[in-house]
Structure 1
Amino acid sequence: MQTLRAVTPQPPIATLLVQTESLRTSNHPQFQRLLEVLHQQIPRMSAHERWQLRYLDAYQASFEGDYANAETMLRDIIDHSGDSILMTKASAVLMNDMGSSKRYTEAFELANRLVADLPKMQDQLTRFQVLFYLSQLLKSAGQYDLAANYARDMMQMLPAGETSCKPQAMLLHVFHESHQLTSTTPELQQGIEICQNAGEPVITDSLWLIKGSLYLDEERPDKAVALLQHIAPGIRSNPNYYNTLYLRLKLAQGYWKLGEDDQAREAALDVLATASPDDVNEALRDAYEVLYHVEKKHGNVTAALSYYERYVAQNIGYLNDVSARTLAYDVAQQHMLAQKLETEKLSKQNSMLRLQQALAAKTIETGRLYIVLLLVVLASVIYWLFRLKRSQLHFKQQARLDGLTGIFNHQHFISEARRALHLLERKQGSACLVFIDLDYFKQINDTHGHAIGDAVLKHTVAISKQLLRTNDLFGRLGGEEFGILLFECSPGQGAAIADRIRTAIESTPINIEGRVIMFSASIGLASTQTSGHDLQRLCRDADAALYRAKHIGRNRVIAHTELGEHTKVLDAGNMGQ
């Protein structure tokens, strides 16, 4: 006699698709299992359900970092599915993938199209997902106010089945990157509790990582390491690339600060093993810095030097990547403005043609009126063309200059310096590269606010300009770091100019609303006479001298020289102390 076993009925395919999509971030392993179940149901699916499954497959490829395969599927959905909701969701994921793969210009162009379509999006879940990816992309370009606004928009229109976890977490990430959080900020603990209650382990872990990072910033490595060790099992059970990478990085930094060198080395090497070998990012840069410090402390000079060179290369690459994101955002905004002006210009031209046709059969008196109107329209066209040209010129200037200080931005300074050094090498001229870094600048921002910090940066530029010649190159490399290329200048002359700048900065505090802000700068210098005319070598030597100036007490000038096979760092500053 056969035993009859109960078979659990499968839910309808449409219900299973919705259920699978809802588990993307809250339970990704279950998401993958349901995806396999759905693939077994393909013969029973309608055309629309197959497109929905293709979208989920594209999301999974994107989650795994297989952006090329994901893009093929996403573009197929956008071009052929005919479903406006799926097309919008696919566009949002594609935009996010372009940002992750450093195709910033394409990402922001697509972002502009999605922003333009926001008022027409009726499906609340689709709008929610688009706002999330827009906020994430704008955060990466330093557009913190816009990113925060999109996160707040998500919170005000939560779709059915969604909690405030994702928008709250996005807002906290924006605040963290714009230095508006501390480990005791109440909103941070509230966000962690909201996401825990919502069953979003990946997002919860990312917020715990913020708290651990803040503990490190506040010089509380014991608290940081204890927290990171506590959340490590959860991150391993819900693997996510960025959570895994930053868990290992923050552990490496925490162990280093606690003096546990072996654990710090192991965690930093785990970061290198996790990241792609050819990637450039902040995590890799900081991991190489930890390894440099550990090997240097233990007297492993060769290993320390190797790690330091990789740190410098990562730092330059990271700063270039930050500049590329910012420039891509500006280019996309400029293209949008140009398209708007072109549309308005064409509209004016069409109006002019209609007037010509309507007035063709009029009398001479009507013809005179036609001429007057024609001149007005022509003047309007010329005016809009003039505005377009002026806007393009303004953008060209913005692409060269730093928006806050008015001096060259990082990308243009590097480009001009490389060109100038090439010409100097041909005529056997000499130059000095100077790196300036303001001491304890983060404390100024934390104590007095970012507005005062910006005023200090502009004040520093104004002081430095007074001591430079008209042909010297001056640029902002990022944050509170500046670069100067002094032409036809020996190492001694360069050190003297650098020390005059240092002394002027130290002796010229800024007075804002009755508050006197004292600050100083550390300066590193490299000369073509010792480092050659290769910009990368000059940058590395100037950066090494700057690091030395910071390491031995700040508020001084260190000049880098090279004698034979041995590198010596000479104190050429701190004359005022």
Structure 2
Amino acid sequence: MFLFLHFKSRFKVIIVNLLFSTILITFPSSGNELKNVEQQLKAANSLRSSDPKKFNSILNKLIKVKSLSNKQKNDLDYLLAYQVAYSGNFKEAIPLFEKIINSNANIDLKFRANSSIINISAISQDWRQGFVHLNKAIQMMPKVKNSLIKQDSLIITSFFYYGLGQYTLGYKYAQQVKENTKNKRNLCAANYLMIKAKFYLKTLQKNDLEIQDSIELCKMVKEQIYVHDILFYLANLHLNNNDVLLAITLLKNNIGHLEKTKFTPLIAQYNSLLAKAYFLNKEFSKAKQYANTSLLKTEGIGNTAEIILAYSLLYKIALHNNDHQQALTHYIKYAEADKAHLEGEKAKHLAFQLAEHKELEQKNQIALLNKKNSLLTAEQALIKANAENNRFIMIILIMTLSVLILWGVRLLRAHKRIKELAEYDALTGIYNRGHFTQVANNAITYCQSAEQSLSLIMFDLDHFKNINDSYGHACGDWALKKVAEVCKKIGRQNDIFARLGGEEFCILLTSCDSKAAQLRAEACRQAIAEIITTDSGFEFSLTASFGVTEAKISGFELEQLLADADSATYTSKHAGRNKVSLFQPKTTIEQTAALDNSQNIF
């Protein structure tokens, strides 16, 4: 009578296909051994469900690798736990997964181990344990960043609710995976779960296109367990439509391939369904053969639907053969299995109701806390209002202060900019004539009162007009900036350096006599003459004519100092340019000339 596959063996599929997504394990850097181990781990991971024999062989080699780090050990333990779970030894597998959860493994590995226990709990019908770990999964999920691992958890949750008979709820989780995954393996699992839900909700038709599409997808990703499970549902649909021969043909054509997977629960289901099909086709000997095979395959699994169906068929076959003693034996076993099955159904429904009750209780507690919070909020409203008012006042004050600071900063910047424009030459960055006059007069007054020497150098670039006319004003501007740059490097920090206008420059030297000033002027002259002009885009000669005077000669008046230095500059130009000349007063020149004439008399 029972046509559908019992949830218990179904949940083992998830252990094969979903829980153990790609595991990246880093092994010690040891040359060829490292490379070989990494290759074996990668191969074992890819073959975990498609070729269990090779998987087991590779793991047997990996456990012999020594000197593994804690992380590597945890990852290998996880694969070994998978191996135990796949073999059907769930009692031994659970402690192995618990050990990983309580270890120092990374959150992804702990999450997978926890998901494995959820699935095993469904298989072993320990629903309370399953809900405990389901809550753990909900708590751990925000910390898990890998989207594929999260999708695996949704698939496991779907399987878990299927075990409780909550197919509508499980269908929603599977649908979430299908809508959000691009991973073909997970898409195969989601399609399979949705087909399973439709089958039990009696909305699946044998001609539905999604059946064949899902089979092709799962074949492509080599998930043979899912493929054979979907075919199992299709065979059930054939039996429901009284297409017994179609069901037999479908099961017979695929049971050989299924047996290669060595996945015992599903093999038992195929045998039990074949037994039923042959019974309906009145081939009682074959029905008995497959029923007994199904019982052999389910040893140690528990009271599954396959056992109930097999004993039911054997009972009916014994009656048909008038073997009443055997019929009684089979009926007793059938009744015991059916009773245990019903108790299991009651247990899982009770567990689900308890979970719902607990959830409702939590919601009520939350509602009560919300009411208390509302009262506290009302009591604190006045305090909060006062705090908000104070906060508003503080914000206004801060904003006002911020505006004043911003305005002050802008004013300071504007003042600084205006000062720069007023004091400095925009092209060369040295003092302009106006600011030079002010600073120079202050320096002259100080040197005069302190009876310190003071000198002034003036220089003019030679043939600068030709440079502008021949190479353009941009080139001329480059020359002016370069001259200011090289001369500034030579000077002292307290020297007063200015551009008086055009190509004319001036340097006021405090605490400096004419000899030192001449040396300084000569250094500047050489630096200018050595300027390489290729950076301007043109090659040309750049020189300057210098005039030098000092306060002892010209006095402590700026205008007179400038006039005398300018006169000395013209002396340099008349002498052939690119020279340094010291200002000579007319009286000194006349005396020198008279002395020369008197010497000529003799």
Relative to the length of structure 1, the TM-score reads 0.56
Superposition deviation, residue 252 in structure 1: 0.5
Hey, what does 1:297 align to over in structure 2?
A: 320
Matched, 1:234 2:257: yes
* 1:31 maps to which of 30, 55, 58: 55
Shift in alpha-carbon separation, 1:310–1:352, aligned structure 2, 3 A: same
Do residues 108 (structure 1) and 131 (structure 2) align? yes
1:97 aligns with 120
1:79 alignment partner, one of 102, 106, 112: 102
Is 1:20 equivalent to 2:63 in the alignment?
no
Aligned to 1:312: 335
Partner of 2:298: 275
1:326 equivalent to 2:349? Answer: yes
CA spacing shift, 1:161–1:81, aligned 2, 3 Å: farther
In the TM superposition, what are the counterparts of 1:377-456 in structure 2 within 5 Å?
none
Counterpart residue number, 1:208:
231
2:428 alignment partner in structure 1: none
CA distance in 2, matches of 1:322, 1:314: 12
2:78 is equivalent to residue 55 of structure 1: yes
Gaps in structure 2 of 5+ consecutive residues: 1-30, 384-602
Shift of 1:74: 0.9
**Bigger shift: 85-94 or 337-346?**
337-346
| Cα distance per residue 1:165-219 (max 9 Å; x no partner) | 1111121112122222232222112211111122111221111111112212221
1:137 aligns with 2:160: yes
| Separation of aligned partners in 1, 2:50 and 2:114 | 22
For 2:336 and 2:116, the matched residues in 1 are separated by 31
SS at match of 1:259: coil
The more displaced of 322-331 and 20-29 is 20-29
CA–CA distance in structure 2, aligned partners of residues 319 and 151 of structure 1: 27
Partner Cα separation in structure 1 for residue 182 and residue 48 of structure 2:
16
Counterparts of residues 328-347 of structure 1 (less than 5 Å): 328-342=351-365
Q: Corresponding residue for 1:259? A: 282
Q: Deviations over 1:343-393 (max 9, x none)?
A: 665687799899999999xxxxxxxxxxxxxxxxxxxxxxxxxxxxxxxxx
CA 1:206–1:15: 2 relative to 1, 3 Å: same
Task: Mark the CA change 1:239 to 1:265 in structure 2 (over 3 Å): closer, same or farther.
Answer: same
Q: Residues 13 and 45 of structure 1 are in contact (CA less than 8 Å); yes or no, is this contact kept in structure 2?
A: no
Describe the shift of the 1:163–1:83 C-alpha distance in structure 2 as closer, same or farther (beyond 3 A): closer
- Give 1:138 shift: 0.4
Aligned residue in 1 for 2:3? none
Alpha-carbon distance change, 268 to 346 in structure 1, aligned in 2, over 3 angstroms: same
Secondary structure of 2:247's aligned partner? helix
Q: 2:213 aligns with which of 164, 167, 190?
A: 190
Against the structure 1 CA distance between its residues 296 and 126, is the aligned structure 2 distance closer, same or farther, given a 3 Å change threshold?
A: same
**Counterpart of 1:164 in 2: which secondary structure?**
helix
1:80-130 residue CA offsets vs partner (Å, 9 max, x unmatched): 124111111000001111111121122123223324554553212211221
Change (3 A) 1:336 1:14: farther
**Counterpart Cα distance in 1 of 2:378 and 2:46:** 57
What displacement does 1:237 show? 0.8
CA deviation digits over 1:433-481, x for unaligned, max 9?
xxxxxxxxxxxxxxxxxxxxxxxxxxxxxxxxxxxxxxxxxxxxxxxxx
Contact 1:271 1:287 in 2 (8 A): yes
Structure 1 residue runs of 5 or longer lacking an equivalent are 1-6, 361-577
CA contact (8 A) 2:244 2:280 kept: yes
% same residue: 23
Q: Does residue 126 in structure 1 map to residue 149 in structure 2?
A: yes
Change in Cα spacing, 1:175 to 1:115, as seen in structure 2 (3 Å) is: farther
Pair 1:208–1:306, CA change in 2 (3 A): same
Shift of 1:135: 0.8
Contact kept? 2:184, 2:217, Cα under 8 Å: no
Q: Deviation string for 1:31-85 (max 9, x for gaps)?
A: 22232232122x2422111111111111221112222221111111111124111
Partner of 2:449: none
For the 8 Å contact 1:14–1:49, the answer to whether it is kept is: no
The 1:203–1:10 alpha-carbon spacing in structure 2 relative to 1, beyond 3 Å, is farther
Contact 2:152 2:186 (8 Å CA) reproduced? no
Match in the other structure for 1:535: none
Q: Which has the larger radius of gyration?
A: 2
Partner letter of residue 33 of structure 1?
S
Secondary structure, counterpart of 1:80 in structure 2: coil
Contact 1:125 1:159 in 2 (8 A): no
Q: Kindly state the Cα deviation for residue 155 of structure 1 after the two structures are TM-superposed.
A: 1.8
Contact preservation (8 Å) 2:315, 2:331: yes
Q: CA deviation at 1:240?
A: 0.7
Rounded Cα–Cα distance in structure 1 between residues aligned with 2:148 and 2:88: 24
Distance verdict in 2 for CA 1:161–1:305, change over 3 Å? closer
Provide closer, same or farther for how the CA distance between residues 105 and 95 of structure 1 changes in structure 2, counting only shifts above 3 A: same
- For the structure 1 residues 278 and 86, does the alpha-carbon distance in structure 2 shift closer, same or farther, using more than 3 Å as the test? closer
Is the contact made by 1:128 and 1:159 (CA closer than 8 Å) also made in structure 2? no
3-state DSSP of counterpart to 2:48: coil
The 5 A counterparts of 1:473-512 are: none
Cα distance change, pair 200–220 in 1 and its aligned pair in 2 (3 A): same
| Alpha-carbon distance between aligned partners in 2 of 1:136 and 1:119, rounded to the nearest angstrom | 21
Structure 1: distance between partners of 2:148 and 2:43: 14
Given that 1:27 and 1:200 are in contact with CA atoms closer than 8 Å, whether structure 2 keeps it comes out as no
Confirm or deny: 8 A CA contact 2:162 2:170 kept in the other structure. Answer: yes
When residues 167 and 26 of structure 1 are mapped into structure 2, their CA distance, relative to the original with a 3 A threshold, is farther
Equivalent positions of 1:166-177 (< 5 A) are 166-177=189-200
| Deviating more after overlay: 136-145 vs 350-359 | 350-359
Q: CA RMSD in A?
A: 2.9
Q: Distance in 1 between matches of 2:195 and 2:50?
A: 19
Using the TM superposition, give the Cα deviation of residue 10 of structure 1 relative to its aligned residue in structure 2, in angstroms: 6.3
- Identify if the C-alpha distance between structure 1 residues 17 and 347 changes in structure 2 by more than 3 Å, giving closer, same or farther: farther
Cα 1:34–1:161, aligned 2, differ >3 Å: closer, same or farther? farther
Between the aligned partners of 1:277 and 1:83, the Cα distance in structure 2 is 34
Match of 1:564 in 2: none
Any idea what the Cα deviations from partners look like across 1:392-424, whole Å, max 9, x if unmatched? xxxxxxxxxxxxxxxxxxxxxxxxxxxxxxxxx
Taking structure 1 as reference, are residues 267 and 26 closer, same or farther at Cα in structure 2, changes over 3 Å only?
Answer: same
CA contact (8 A) 1:54 1:73 kept: yes
SS at match of 1:246: helix
